[in-house]
């Protein structure tokens, strides 16, 4: 017999379930009723949870901010496959107007629209006819309409409504950020790429961030998405067909192509490490919260950066060549010369720069003998009036079994194709095939080699002689750091620069005369442009009065001057950073060794200058299809 309590409980469950059975049932029947009811409850709970989750998804999707969040994420993760300026501008335009209309409720939509018309169609011109007689009246009318609506609808004051148009600047800002604003600022204003700037360039989905933090609804899904977005941002940061207006108008802002090109150029210079957010999550999973998460993240970042470098060299992962490349890059990182870095300083010299761009409008699909050519524009900013030689060659490389076709630059000697430049230079080169095309698909390639470029860098150090640690720290605090603020070498933003370091440890500005401390000279040449260094013709680090341990060796390369024959191989020159020999200082001038005795000074500043001469190659490519 079942206990009364169980029988009553079974009866209650049976009654609620509409059972017609007796209240007094056997223990087995009672338990079966309980199990049946429990199963029904669980099933109901599952259906309820599913319905609740579905309801939250529907509720979230109804929020304009959440829609922008999802769309922004999708386009961000597929951005690597989008190499079309028209599509990039189209997506940016859609998101800009969507956020202006649906997220900011059309506040600022007039300003956003006027900006788009002015920027895209008028090429951000400062033409007063456009600004004063078209843009300004339209903006004034838009502000007045919003002000009157706000006043009459009693939703605010006239001033508040009209000034609300300024909200239109927010979508405009995110439009530029998504195009590559940070990369362009780095390239234009010589911002040094530290890990923070690098991560902002590579791993920030700007539209998704605007969307998730502009959501109005509140539920678990949206809250979770915000939480994940915050964690993602912290993970990233804490780790250390477009009109031709920009070609014709007097543009005050960079064109869309310049933003995109800057983004691509910076991305091309950076080894593509793993997304820091993913590294953090993966390391928490691997080592737990109490393990060495930081060390794990650093290792994953370094490993993925090395894989990226070797992948860019077109080695297939898993092959012997790929593994050899990884080992070679690891050995290079151990070389002290590779670890030396420098900063860009626009106050030293105006930089020498060059751009080489194919005029896509000059490309025709239809081939006519003697009337087919492709035009490429070369612009050299040469403010220091360096005497340069420019050599231009072009070819049409077959994408099938047929032969390559050599190109000829119109108006130039086919054997030399040389131009002498002494100052600013801008010219168009028209390349035509020397024979008839056999096939239909080719890669057009044109190369401009700039010869005898020169770049200088400077480095400041403080020589204190033989002093105690306390004396040195006091001098640094009260005098030295007032004059010498940075331990890195400084150079203009040329196509390539020389970085060098002199001292006991890297970037330490004070050099002592101590028998217990070495003074090392470490240096490298860094390619910071979009092309290739094809030759290093000379380098010289001015250390007059100093002796090094490489001075008396006529076989090994010298750390101060060079190069010797065959010092740099073609493979070395392809690297973004090319190491120069490391050496130790064995003797320095007496006035620097003991400034108090020779100069009656407690310390003496010294500026060192390094320079090098090199050849630099710019390449422009375009896939073409030929029809007769």
Six-digit token string for 531? 């092309």
pLDDT tens per residue across span 294-320: 778 778 877 887 887 788 767 788 888
- Vertex 451 angle, CA 445 and 452, to 5°: 160
Do residues 385 and 423 lie in contact, with contact meaning Cβ atoms separated by under 8 Å? yes
pLDDT at 16: 43
pLDDT at 176: 79
C-alpha radius of gyration, the chain, whole number? 34
Say how far apart CA 591 and CA 596 lie, in whole Å: 8
Comparing C-alpha atoms, which of 25, 17, 19 is closest to residue 1? 25
Say how far apart CA 171 and CA 326 lie, in whole Å: 43
DSSP string of 121-171, one letter each residue: ISTTB--HHHIIIIIHHHHHHHHHHHHHHHHHTTSS-HHHHHHGGGGGHHH
Say how far apart CA 42 and CA 23 lie, in whole Å: 24
Six-digit token string for 323? 């593994």
Question: What 8-state DSSP symbol labels residue 253?
Answer: S
- Vertex 485 angle, CA 484 and 490, to 5°: 85
Bridge-based pairing of strands 353-358 and 387-398 is: unpaired
On the question of a cis peptide bond just before residue 563, with omega within 30 degrees of 0, the verdict is yes
Would you call 426 helix, strand, or coil by DSSP?
strand
Do residues 208 and 69 lie in contact, with contact meaning Cβ atoms separated by under 8 Å? yes
Say how far apart CA 480 and CA 486 lie, in whole Å: 11
Question: What 8-state DSSP symbol labels residue 100?
Answer: I
Say how far apart CA 419 and CA 21 lie, in whole Å: 105
Bridge-based pairing of strands 561-562 and 577-579 is: unpaired
Residue keyed to tokens 């401009």: 448
| C-alpha dihedral sign at 180, 263, 381, 453 | positive
pLDDT tens per residue across span 405-439: 999 998 887 677 789 998 899 999 999 999 988 88
pLDDT tens per residue across span 501-510: 999 999 999 9
Bridge-based pairing of strands 342-344 and 489-491 is: parallel
Stretch (H or E) spanning 433:
strand 425-433
Say how far apart CA 434 and CA 444 lie, in whole Å: 13
Six-digit token string for 219? 């539920």
Bridge-based pairing of strands 510-512 and 441-465 is: parallel
Six-digit token string for 523? 């240096």
Stretch (H or E) spanning 7:
helix 4-16
The list of the chain residues with pLDDT below 70 reads: 1-61, 79-85, 121-135, 138, 146, 158, 160-161, 182-202, 233-278, 281, 284, 288-291, 313, 331-349, 414
Do residues 489 and 458 lie in contact, with contact meaning Cβ atoms separated by under 8 Å? yes
pTM strictly above 0.75: no
Comparing C-alpha atoms, which of 33, 34, 31 is closest to residue 2? 31
Comparing C-alpha atoms, which of 512, 565, 521 is closest to residue 547? 521
């Amino acid at each position: 017999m079942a206990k009364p309590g169980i029988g009553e409980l079974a009866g209650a469950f049976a009654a609620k379930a509409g059972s017609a059975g007796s209240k007094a049932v056997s223990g087995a029947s009672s338990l079966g009723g309980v199990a049946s009811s429990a199963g029904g409850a669980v099933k109901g709970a599952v259906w309820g949870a599913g319905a609740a989750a579905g309801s939250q998804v529907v509720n979230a999707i109804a929020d304009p901010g959440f829609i922008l969040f999802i769309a922004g994420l999708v386009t961000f993760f597929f951005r690597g496959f989008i190499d079309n300026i028209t599509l990039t501008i189209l997506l940016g335009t859609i998101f800009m107007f969507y956020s202006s209309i649906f997220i900011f409720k059309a506040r600022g939509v007039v300003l956003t629209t006027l900006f788009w018309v002015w920027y895209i169609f008028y090429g951000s011109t400062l033409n007063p006819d456009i600004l004063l007689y078209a843009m300004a009246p339209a903006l004034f009318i838009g502000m007045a309409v919003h002000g009157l609506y706000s006043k009459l609808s009693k939703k605010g004051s006239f001033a508040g409504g009209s000034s609300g148009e300024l909200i239109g600047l927010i979508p405009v800002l995110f439009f530029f950020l998504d195009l590559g604003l940070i990369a362009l600022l780095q390239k234009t204003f010589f911002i040094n790429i530290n890990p923070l700037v690098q991560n902002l360039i590579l791993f920030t989905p700007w539209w998704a961030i605007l969307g998730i933090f502009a959501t109005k609804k509140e539920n678990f899904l949206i809250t979770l998405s915000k939480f994940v977005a915050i964690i993602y941002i912290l993970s990233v940061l804490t780790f250390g067909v477009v009109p031709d207006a920009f070609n014709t108008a007097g543009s005050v802002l960079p064109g869309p192509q310049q933003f995109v090109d800057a983004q691509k150029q910076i991305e091309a210079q950076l080894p593509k490490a793993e997304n820091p957010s993913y590294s953090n999550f993966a390391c928490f999973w691997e080592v737990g919260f109490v393990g060495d998460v930081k060390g794990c993240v650093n290792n994953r970042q370094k490993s993925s950066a090395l894989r990226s470098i070797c992948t860019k060299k077109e080695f297939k992962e898993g092959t012997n060549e790929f593994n050899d490349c990884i080992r070679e890059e690891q050995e290079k990182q151990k070389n002290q010369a590779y670890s030396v870095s420098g900063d860009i300083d626009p106050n030293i010299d105006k930089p020498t720069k060059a751009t080489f761009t194919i005029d896509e409008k000059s490309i025709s699909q239809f081939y006519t003998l003697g009337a087919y050519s492709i035009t490429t524009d070369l612009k050299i900013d040469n403010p220091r009036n360096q005497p340069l030689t420019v050599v231009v060659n072009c070819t049409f490389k077959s994408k099938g079994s047929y032969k390559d076709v050599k190109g000829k630059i119109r108006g130039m000697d086919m054997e030399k194709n040389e131009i002498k430049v002494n100052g600013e230079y801008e010219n168009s080169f028209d390349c035509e095939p020397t024979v008839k095309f056999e096939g239909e698909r080719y890669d057009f390639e044109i190369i401009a080699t700039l010869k005898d470029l020169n770049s200088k860098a400077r480095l400041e150090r403080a020589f204190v002689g033989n002093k105690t640690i306390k004396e040195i720290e006091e001098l640094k605090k009260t005098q030295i750091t007032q004059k010498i603020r940075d331990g890195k070498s400084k150079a203009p933003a040329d196509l390539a620069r020389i970085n060098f370091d002199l001292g006991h440890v890297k970037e330490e500005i004070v050099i002592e005369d101590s028998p217990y401390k070495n003074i090392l000279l470490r240096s490298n040449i860094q390619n910071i442009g979009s092309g290739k260094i094809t030759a290093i013709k000379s380098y010289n680090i001015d250390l007059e009065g100093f002796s090094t341990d490489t001075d008396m060796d006529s076989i090994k390369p010298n750390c101060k001057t060079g190069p010797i024959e065959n010092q740099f191989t073609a493979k070395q020159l392809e690297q973004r950073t090319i190491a120069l020999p490391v050496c130790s200082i064995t003797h320095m001038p007496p006035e620097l060794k003991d400034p108090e005795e020779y100069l009656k000074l407690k310390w003496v500043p010294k500026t060192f200058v390094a320079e090098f001469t090199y050849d630099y190659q710019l390449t422009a490519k375009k896939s073409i299809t030929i029809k007769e």
